[in-house]
Every structure is written in C-alpha cells, then in structure tokens.
Structure 1
Amino acid sequence: MTIIKVNATDSTNLHLKRMMLGTALEDFTVLVTDSQLSGKGQAGTVWNSEPGKNLTFSVLKQFEKLSADQGFSVSMALSLALVQFFRELNIPQLAIKWPNDIMSGNKKICGILIENTLKGLMLKHAILGIGINVNQDNFFGLPNAASLKQITRKTYQLEPLLNRLLTLLEAVLDIDQENIENLKSDYESLLYLKDQKALYKIHDEWVEGFIRGTSPEGKLRVETAESKQIQCGLKEIKYP
C-alpha cells in the first residue's frame, strides 16, 4: 500500500487519474486530501466537504479475475466494508442506499464514486473515491446529510479512522468468482428501504412499490404495488 497525501486538490479521483498518465502506480495506491475543492458524486452530483473535517480519498485497485459485467461486485464489496467500519464505531441504523451511499437512519454519512476501466472483456482496475462526513457540524442546503460527530456527539481523529478503513478495504477488495454471490446476498440485505412500501419517482413517473434487490448488472429492482418488475439505473429513480 502506498499512501499519498496532498493539502488540497480538485478531486481525488481526478488527481489519481492524472498521476496514472505519467507513471505506473502500484495496486492499492491511496490519495488523501484535507481539502477537496470539486468533489464529485454519482452521475455528476457534487460532494461538499469542509476542509480538515472529513475523510476524502481515492484508492486505485487493480483486478485480474473479474469480467467487465461483474464490475458491480466492486461496489458491493466496498459498501459492505464501509458498513463494517461504521459498525465498529457503533453508528446506528446502517443501510446502503443504492448504489452505494451509506446511511444512518435517513441521513447520508458516506458517499462513493467508483470509476471502472476495462481491458477487453475484463475489469482492469477501478478508482474508488470515498467521502465520509466525520467532524463537519453543518451541511447547508443538504438536509439529508449528517456527520459521525453529529450522530455520536464525539470528535474523531481522522488518521486512525483512515488507517482502520484502509486495512478493511485491503481485506475485502480481493474479489473472485466464488464470493460474488455472498457479496450480493449480504449487500441486498442492507439495502435502504428494502421491502418497505414507498413512493418512488421512476423514469419521471411516481410509482408506489418495494425495493426487492439488484439485477446481475447492478441495477436496482423495484416491484410495483401491481407486481410489475422495474429495473432502474443511475438517476432513473428518486427516493421519497
């Protein structure tokens, strides 16, 4: 593992990709910053983070055993590792809001941006961007966001948290064919609002239904009140 620390950058994912243009980085190279100026979430959303109060970093993970259509297993493994990490901190009511936001109750405490690179029919590597709300006190304009400090009333030292999480990630990201099914079962058991009736906006239409799980490609499976099966990709579903 190589850990690179920078005071500030636009985006840890972008910074790591720029580094890869000029040099061959080893597996599990980690780029950490105190201040991420233009952090990105899924599908182009913005990740807001106060400098010095949160964990914002990206990890380069190389793969040899996964096919291109198994890329979602990386998201599942990463999400489950983060849930384990938060459990160790006694964060309550943990769930995974598809595809990979980590929730405590109805508050988002962690976001992930995964960017996969393919080589032919195989997954070559992934850049895993992770943002965890740790000691931030205010999330202006983001009513569904919260920090670990707000939830537990504790102030955290960032470096020990980072070191523990990286140890967990190293252990779980060596994914192979044999453990993908177990990943899927564990991941789906933690899905936010799973099997609860709710009103969702799907393909610009409000639908009453139930989240049932994920497809083999990683799309979200929703069953409507009329028993119709719908699969949703990014930005195709809006939660209540």
Structure 2
Amino acid sequence: MKLIKLDAIDSTNEFLKSLSSQHELENFTVVTAENQTKGKGQMGAVWRSDIGKNLIMSVLVRGFLHSNEQFYNLNIIISLSVIKILEELNIPDLSIKWPNDIMSYNKKIGGILIENTLKSDGTIVSVVGLGLNVNQTNFDNLPNASSLSVICNAEFNKEELVELIVEKMKQKIILWQEQSVLFWDEYFNKLFRKGVPMPFKNLNPEALGQNFMGIIQGVSPIGKLQILLEDDSVSEFEIKEIQMLY
C-alpha cells in the first residue's frame, strides 16, 4: 500500500484525482491529511474536521468497476469494510445511513464519498474518500455528530485505522464475485432505521418541503432507496430527491 501523508490539503479526493490523471499510480494508493480545508460530502455538503483529530483519507481503486450499473457495488464494499473494522474495535450499535454515512447509535461518525472517472481506454478509476471522526470531542452546533473517542471514552490510532480499513477493502473486493449476494444482504441488514416508520422530506422541486411518512425497505441495484409509502406502494428515490428526518 503506497501511502502519501499530507499536513494540509483542500481535498484528499481532489488531490488523488489530479495525481492519478498525471501519473500511473499503484492500485490502492492512499492519501491522508491532518487538515482538509475543502472537504465535501454527498451533494456538495461541506465536511469539517478538527485539525489532527480525525481520519481523512482517499483511496484509489482501479479494475473493480466496469460499467455505470456497477457503481453502487463499490459503495457496498467500502461501507461494510469500515463497519467491520469498527466492529472489531468494539464501536457499538453501528449502521449505514443511506447512502454512505456511518452511524453509531443515532450519531454520524463518518462519511464516504466515491467519485468515479471513465478513462479514455474505457476503464473506470474510483477515488474513495472517507472522513471518520476519531479523536475529536467538540461537536458544538453539530447535534447529530459524534466520534469514536466520545462514544468509547478512549483515544484511537488513526494510522492503524488506515491500514486496517484498506486491507479490509482489498479482501472484500477479492471476495465480491463469490459473495456479492451475502454482501448486499449484510448491507441491507445494516441500514439505519430500516423497517421503522419515519418522516422524509421531499426535495423534488415540484413538491419541495413536503414531508411524508415511509418505511425503508432496502436499496435497488443502482443505489436508489426503496421506501414503502402510506398507500402500500414502494417508491425508489435518488440522493437528491429526499432527505431523511431523524
């Protein structure tokens, strides 16, 4: 595993994407940073972190995805890899808030952002960004956030976490062809608030601000959230179409 350590950068994802466009990088090259000034999450949300306290990393993954229809498979692998390592560290009550937030109890402790690039030769190169709240303890004005340190009242080794997570990613990628059905089942079982009636906000411009009740049933093969509605129909939603209220 080639590891590039940075003190500060605007975005580890942007840095790794730029580097991979200029050089032929080793698969699973990792970039970490102590401070990220322009970290981002799903839909362009800003991701902020106390300097030196948290895990900020991006990983290059090449040779796994071969078409747009497979994009969400990588989300499954990355989410489960992070969850598995955290379980081994005895982090309690872990779940995945669709599509890519890592939760402990009802608090967000991490987020994943995967960006895929189609190369001129037809291959797909993915940059997997992971932000994990590790040793940060101050979450003023962030009532839905927490960290490993707060939850377990202990400090954690960030460098060790990097190695453990990347090795778990490699293992699951190798096993994907034989165990993809098991991985999907495991992902479904880890979905935050799955099977529980809860409110959602409709983000569709035609119905902006309208709330509705629904029950999460699962996720489609291309990553849409499947929700059972009050009329007993099941609808599928993309990330930009709804917001989970909890």
Q: TM-score, normalised on structure 1?
A: 0.94
Q: Which residue of 1 aligns with 2:224?
A: 219
Q: Which residue of 2 aligns with 1:210?
A: 215
In 1, distance between residues paired with 2:235 and 2:122? 28
Which string of whole-angstrom CA distances, capped at 9 and with x for unpartnered residues, describes residues 170-215 of structure 1?
2113365443322211111110010001111133321111000011
User: Structure 2 counterpart of 1:153, which letter?
Assistant: N
In 1, distance between residues paired with 2:103 and 2:170? 22
Structural mapping, 1:51-62, within 5 Å = 51-62=51-62
In 2, distance between residues paired with 1:120 and 1:160? 36
Segments of structure 2 that go 5 or more residues without pairing to the other structure are: none
Deviation at 1:113, TM superposition (A): 0.4
Q: Which residue of 2 aligns with 1:237?
A: 242
Q: Which residue of 1 aligns with 2:200?
A: 200
For the Cα contact (< 8 Å) 2:28–2:166, is it kept in 1? no
Q: Which residue of 2 aligns with 1:15?
A: 15
Structural mapping, 1:127-206, within 5 Å = 127-174=127-174, 176-202=176-202, 203=204, 204=208, 205-206=210-211
User: Structure 1 counterpart of 2:51, which letter?
Assistant: P
In 2, distance between residues paired with 1:116 and 1:74? 10
1:117 equivalent to 2:117? Answer: yes
Q: Which residue of 2 aligns with 1:36?
A: 36
Q: Which residue of 1 aligns with 2:6?
A: 6
In 2, distance between residues paired with 1:172 and 1:123? 20
Pick closer, same or farther for the CA change 1:224–1:200 going to 2, 3 Å. Answer: same
Q: CA RMSD in A?
A: 1.8
Paired residue secondary structure (1:145):
coil
The structure with more strand, counted as a fraction of residues: 1
Pick closer, same or farther for the CA change 1:207–1:65 going to 2, 3 Å. Answer: closer
Q: Which residue of 2 aligns with 1:98?
A: 98
Paired residue secondary structure (1:193):
coil
Give the count of matched residue pairs: 240
Paired residue secondary structure (1:71):
helix
Q: Which residue of 1 aligns with 2:68?
A: 68
Segments of structure 1 that go 5 or more residues without pairing to the other structure are: none
In 1, distance between residues paired with 2:175 and 2:69? 14
**Percent same amino acid among aligned pairs?**
40
Q: Which stretch of structure 1 is more off in the superposition, 206-215 or 162-171?
A: 162-171
